[in-house]
DNA sequence: CTGGATCCGCTTTGATACTG
DNA sequence: CAGTATCAAAGCGGATCCAG
């Protein structure tokens, strides 16, 4: 399927200039985690310290109980978050980053930094684009 | 709406102790823009050099013509990619990263690096989790 | 308090066909 | 070659109810 190498273009390039390692270099793995709406936000919040279910829900405005539950579970499965349940009454559950999770938080922080640095430029570019292409659907 | 309970809820939750800066520290901006399935892959590919429409489609296995078109246009709008059209026959269009785009590619590279370093650990964690929770739906 | 189970709508994505 | 237009499918995410 994807292995179809139909190189119809003779091109002047000698060796394969494309596909050096694996096309995506494994980025897909992170993307699947970054792709969803809440994973990163949760990790960022947990990077500040251990949190309980309720606390997380408050710290991440807009997240529903369901998505918090689902997302947290997924992070636990991936080994980024550790869950500790205290069989008390009422129940209490603590969430905290694992070593891998903290590592990930660091990597994400760099991206967040990039975001803050370029958000204005992006907004400007968009605005400019929209001004010159008012007929676009969008 | 919150059911009118026996105890009038203190509607105003007071300022929660959490919520440090802005909740997400601006990560939402990047995520909303590049959190989709293809943007990052396209940027990574373009980081290797200028590419034509066809070349991109080949370089990113699985992407449909439509998504390539849509994603590329969005990147152009955000100022991360530059598009050059040659009104020849047959037509030819070159895509290349802008300065901002290259900057972003750099940030992503760091994340990709993280991914490669921890992908095994994540896979192991998942496998382990699934083994101990075979009853889960997933 | 901490979630799991359901129902359901919206957005994203994919397949296909058509145009310049 | 380089897209655009349309339609249908899939997945994500929200609201709600219920259980431990």
Would you say residue A137 lies in a domain?
Answer: no
**What pLDDT, on a 0 to 100 scale, did the predictor assign at position B24?**
63
CB contact under 8 Å between A122 and B54, yes or no, is no
**What pLDDT, on a 0 to 100 scale, did the predictor assign at position B72?**
98
Would you say residue A51 lies in a domain?
Answer: yes
Q: Which residues contact B121 (CB under 8 A, 6 or more apart)?
A: A79, A100
Question: What's the CA A32/C1' C8 distance, rounded, in angstroms?
Answer: 25
Angle (CA) A62-A64-A66 rounded to 5° is 160
Of B112, B111, B78, the closest CA to residue B97 belongs to B78
What residue ranges of chain A have pLDDT lower than 70?
A: 1-26, 137-138
Helices B27-34 and A39-46 pack at an angle, to 10 degrees, of: 160
Asked if the model's pLDDT at residue B50 lies above 50, the reply is yes
Would you say residue A105 lies in a domain?
Answer: yes
Q: What is chain B's Cα-based Rg?
A: 22
Would you say residue B76 lies in a domain?
Answer: yes
Would you say residue A138 lies in a domain?
Answer: no
Q: What is the CATH number of the domain that holds A20?
A: 1.10.10.10
* Of A34-43, B22-31, B63-72, highest mean pLDDT: B63-72
Across residues B40-65, what is the average pLDDT? Answer: 96
**What pLDDT, on a 0 to 100 scale, did the predictor assign at position B69?**
98
| Residue B109 belongs to domain spanning | 11-132
Would you say residue B4 lies in a domain?
Answer: no
**What pLDDT, on a 0 to 100 scale, did the predictor assign at position B11?**
34
**Distance from C-alpha of A92 to C-alpha of A53, rounded to nearest angstrom:** 8
pTM of this prediction exceeds 0.85: no
Of B74, B117, B27, the closest CA to residue A137 belongs to B74
**What pLDDT, on a 0 to 100 scale, did the predictor assign at position B32?**
83
Q: What is the mean pLDDT of chain B?
A: 83
CB contact at 8 A, B82 and B96: yes
Asked if the model's pLDDT at residue B9 lies above 60, the reply is no
CB contact under 8 Å between A77 and B125, yes or no, is yes
**What pLDDT, on a 0 to 100 scale, did the predictor assign at position A25?**
61
Of B61, B80, B110, the CB nearest to A23: B61
CB contact under 8 Å between A20 and B116, yes or no, is no
Cis peptide before A54 (omega within 30 of 0): no
Would you say residue A49 lies in a domain?
Answer: yes
- A122 versus B32: the higher-pLDDT residue is A122
Would you say residue A5 lies in a domain?
Answer: no
Q: Which nucleotide is nearest to A56 (CA to C1')?
A: C2
Nucleotides of C under 7 A from a protein CB: 1-6, 12-17, 20
Q: Is B77 left (phi over 0), alpha (psi -120 to 50) or beta?
A: alpha
Across residues B72-77, what is the average pLDDT? Answer: 97
pLDDT band at B16 (very low <50, low <70, confident <90, very high): very low
Q: How many domains does chain B have?
A: 1
| Smallest CA–CA distance from A11 into chain B, residue | B55
Backbone phi and psi for residue B13, each to the nearest 5 degrees, phi listed first: -70, 20
Cα distance between the two ends of chain A = 33
**What pLDDT, on a 0 to 100 scale, did the predictor assign at position B19?**
40
When mean pLDDT is compared across A107-116, B22-31, B114-123, the lowest value belongs to: B22-31
CB contact under 8 Å between B114 and A104, yes or no, is yes
């Amino acid at each position: 399927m994807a292995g179809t190498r139909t190189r119809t273009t003779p091109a002047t390039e000698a060796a394969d200039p494309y596909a050096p390692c694996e096309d995506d270099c494994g980025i897909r793995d992170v993307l699947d985690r970054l792709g969803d709406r809440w994973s990163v936000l949760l990790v960022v919040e947990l990077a500040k310290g251990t949190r309980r279910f309720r606390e997380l829900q408050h710290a991440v405005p807009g997240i529903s109980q369901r998505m918090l539950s689902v997302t947290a579970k997924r992070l636990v499965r991936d080994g980024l978050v550790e869950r500790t349940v205290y069989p008390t009454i009422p129940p209490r559950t603590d969430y905290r980053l694992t070593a891998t999770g903290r590592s990930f938080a660091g990597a994400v922080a760099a991206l967040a930094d990039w975001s803050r640095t370029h958000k204005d430029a992006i907004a400007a570019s968009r605005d400019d684009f929209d001004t010159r292409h008012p007929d676009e659907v969008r």
